[in-house]
Chains A and B, each alone.
Chain A
Amino acid sequence: MKLQIALFVSFLAGSSAYTPGGPVKAKAPQSRRDLLKGLPFLAAGVAASAANAYELPDLPYAFDALEPYIDAPTMKIHHDMHHNTYVTNINNAMKDKPAVDIRDLQADALTAAPGVRNSGGGHYNHAFFWDEMAPHDKAKNTKPSSKLQGMIDSAFGGTEKMKEEWAAKSAPGAVFGSGWVWLVVNGKDELEIVGTPNQDNPLMKGVKDEIKYPILGIDVWEHAYYLKYQNRRPEYVANWWSVVNWDKVNENLDYVLKEHKGVPVRG
């Protein structure tokens, strides 16, 4: 523990952006891409020369907001370093190509240019992940909608059973190395829990037997939990439920059932 604190302090010494306890507000959308979102008929022409089609979205909460379930150093490194690298790399991969919403890049990721699967997936997955979580004080007052609860009961036999299957599928023996676990809506509008390796996600054609639409996901790459939990992944997964924002999950479900598309993300 002391060593962890020492490492964290020395890391902080080299960075300037972190203010413990200081709230980080979501940036008001001001990028060219955000403006373009409202002008789809112009997007193709104007965005063709977009050097940086994608950007790192700000967290909708402070780095320490998910404590003690997910620690502040992890949130900072995970967002500022890991997610940022995926954004940089997907921008490089898409440099001379027409801009495509990151969500829409997922379907053909397995056959796209090198880097799209890993970095495009990585960008989408992390952008999706930040927004489904909230500080515990807020998260604890949210719950599945009656629609979602009904689907959980029907697919798993209840929330407890769903969490058991989630625990089994996210265990180190199930997702063998790096990957994600997702609660998805499948082609029959039923819920399933699926795991994907590395930065794949179920929106990518070919990753599962059909495209499935995530409404909730957890990053089980070691970088998502190692500083606080080391090899105790099951403890991280169990604690993570305390910061799940069910309001957002309910929203995701409604969107997916209506549109049969992947949930849009910021960035």
Chain B
Amino acid sequence: MAVHFKMISRVSSSVVRRVANRSFAAAASSPAVLPELAHPYSAYEPNISATIMEIHHSKHHATYVNNLNVNLEAAEKAAQDGDANKLISLAPAIKFNGGGHINHTLFWENLCPPSDYTAPSGAILSEIESAFGSFDAMKSEMSAKTVAVQGSGWGWLGYNTTTKKLEIATCANQDPLEATTGLKPIVGIDVWEHAYYLQYKNVRPDYVNAIWDVIDWKVAGERLEAAM
């Protein structure tokens, strides 16, 4: 049974990556799709509860996907009609729902079951050490900044292609990292309350501490390689 899941998860993560890379600019002709998770909802216990994973993926992310498609369709029509005002008025909703789709797709990919956890090594570890001094120092800074997000938002480990260094950034709401800051996303942590509330209530620091043990550093390493 466990082996079977592993085989599926190997296939699923490459599917997830292909879906994540697919541009959704073509809208109605190529609508955004809710990606499948690489593992069952319960696989991230006890760090993230199965209930949270299920609602987060099948309700929250699914809603971003649906609303993105609705707004993209409307935008396509507005563009065809030459209705600039309409097009512009749709921009906030496209940013919100498109950002939500991008962010959550990246998020699922950078989570792994606690039993699969391995610490960063190789290129990503040396980049982390070079930028922050040590893996622990990076986690410390990212935890502090992520916990400090006011209201809803995300904490990111990102790669700055200009300075060629890793950095930590936070974004509000569903603002996507790359479009907002130019940084390439390496690891994201969702700190909207829906990401942790049912399990951690208002104790966001406990959630952020716990999530470190389910971060997939292999995926992070692949993203860094692609970004460099």
Q: Which of A30-38, A132-140, A175-183 binds B?
A: A175-183
Q: Which of B59, B67, B152 has a CB less than 8 Å from the CB of A177?
A: B152
Stretch at the interface among A147-155, A220-228, A243-251: A220-228
Contacts A173-B96, A177-B152, A231-B55 hold; do A221 and B193 have CB atoms under 8 A apart? yes
- Would B201 and A81 count as touching, CB distance under 8 A? yes
**A230 close to B93 (CB less than 8 A):** no
A176 to B92 alpha-carbon distance, docked (Å): 9
Shortest distance between the CB of B176 and any CB in chain A (Å):
13
A177 close to B151 (CB less than 8 A): yes
A149 to B174, CA, bound (A): 38
Residues of chain B contacted by A173 (CB below 8 angstroms): 67, 93, 96-97
Are A176 and B96 in touch, CB under 8 angstroms? yes
Q: With a CB–CB cut-off of 8 A, which chain B residues contact A82? A: 202
Q: With an 8 A cutoff between CB atoms, is A18 at the interface?
A: no
Contact with A along B57-72 (1 / 0, CB 8 A): 0011001000100000
Contact of A178 with B193 in the complex, beta carbons under 8 Å: yes
Kindly state whether residue A49 has any CB partner on chain B within 8 Å: no
Q: By the criterion CB–CB under 8 Å, are A222 and B150 in contact?
A: no
B165: which A residues are within 8 A, CB to CB? none
From B93, B174, B197, contact of A223 by CB (8 A): B197
The answer to whether A92 has its CB under 8 Å from any CB of chain B is: no
- From residue B3, how far is it (CB to closest CB) to chain A in Å? 29
Q: Confirm or deny: B91 has a beta carbon within 8 angstroms of a beta carbon on chain A.
A: no
CA distance A177 to B60 in the complex (A): 12
> Would you list which residues of chain B between 170 and 228 have a CB under 8 Å from chain A?
172-174, 192-194, 197-199, 201-202
B98 at the interface (CB under 8 A from A): no
Q: How large is the interface on A (under 10, 10 to 19, 20 to 34, 35 or more residues)?
A: 20 to 34
Closest Cβ–Cβ distance, residue A36 to chain B (whole Å)? 30
Contact present for A227 and B193 (CB under 8 Å) = no
Q: A3-B51, A197-B151, A222-B197 are in contact. Are A177 and B192 (CB under 8 A)?
A: yes
A227 near B202 with CB under 8 A, answer no
Instruction: Provide the residues of chain A in CB contact with B192, threshold 8 Å.
Output: 177, 222
Which residue, A177, A221, A223, has most C-beta atoms of chain B within 10 A? Answer: A177
Task: List B contacts of A177 (CB < 8 A).
Answer: 151-153, 172-174, 192
Within 8 A of B (CB), among A141-176: 172-173, 176
A198 contacts B by Cβ under 8 Å: yes
Question: Taking A4-B198, A173-B93, A222-B193 as contacts, is the C-beta distance between A231 and B60 under 8 angstroms?
Answer: yes
A197 CB contacts on chain B under 8 angstroms: 151
B172:A226 contact, CB within 8 angstroms: no
- In the assembled complex, which residues on chain A have CB atoms less than 8 Å from the CB atom of B60? 231
| B174 partner residues in chain A, CB cutoff 8 A | 176-177
Q: Is A39 an interface residue (CB 8 A)?
A: no
Q: In whole angstroms, how far apart are the Cα atoms of A85 and B204 in the complex? A: 12
Q: Please judge, given known A-B contacts A176-B174, A177-B192, whether A7 and B198 are in contact too, CB under 8 Å.
A: yes
Bound complex: CA A243 to CA B28 (Å): 42
Contact A118 B202 (CB under 8 A): no
A223/B55 in contact, CB under 8 A? no
Partner of B63, one of A221, A223, A231: A231
- Which residues of chain A are within 8 angstroms of B202 by Cβ–Cβ distance? 77, 81-82, 85, 223
Once bound together, how far apart are the Cα atoms of A245 and B63, in whole Å?
33
In whole angstroms, how far apart are the Cα atoms of A133 and B1 in the complex? Answer: 52
A230 touches B172 (CB 8 A): no
Contact assessment for A226 and B51 in the assembled complex, using a CB-CB cutoff below 8 Å:
no
- Closest CB pairs A-B (n = 8): A177-B152, A178-B151, A222-B193, A198-B151, A177-B173, A176-B173, A231-B59, A226-B197
A and B contact pairs by CB, cutoff 8 A, 26 listed: A4-B198, A7-B199, A11-B201, A77-B201, A81-B201, A118-B150, A173-B67, A173-B97, A176-B152, A176-B173, A177-B151, A177-B152, A177-B174, A178-B150, A178-B152, A178-B193, A198-B150, A199-B151, A223-B193, A223-B201, A226-B193, A226-B197, A227-B198, A230-B55, A231-B55, A231-B194
Known pairs A176-B96, A177-B153; list 16 more (Cβ under 8 Å).
A3-B51, A7-B198, A7-B199, A77-B202, A81-B201, A85-B202, A176-B152, A176-B174, A179-B151, A198-B151, A221-B193, A222-B194, A223-B197, A226-B193, A226-B198, A227-B198
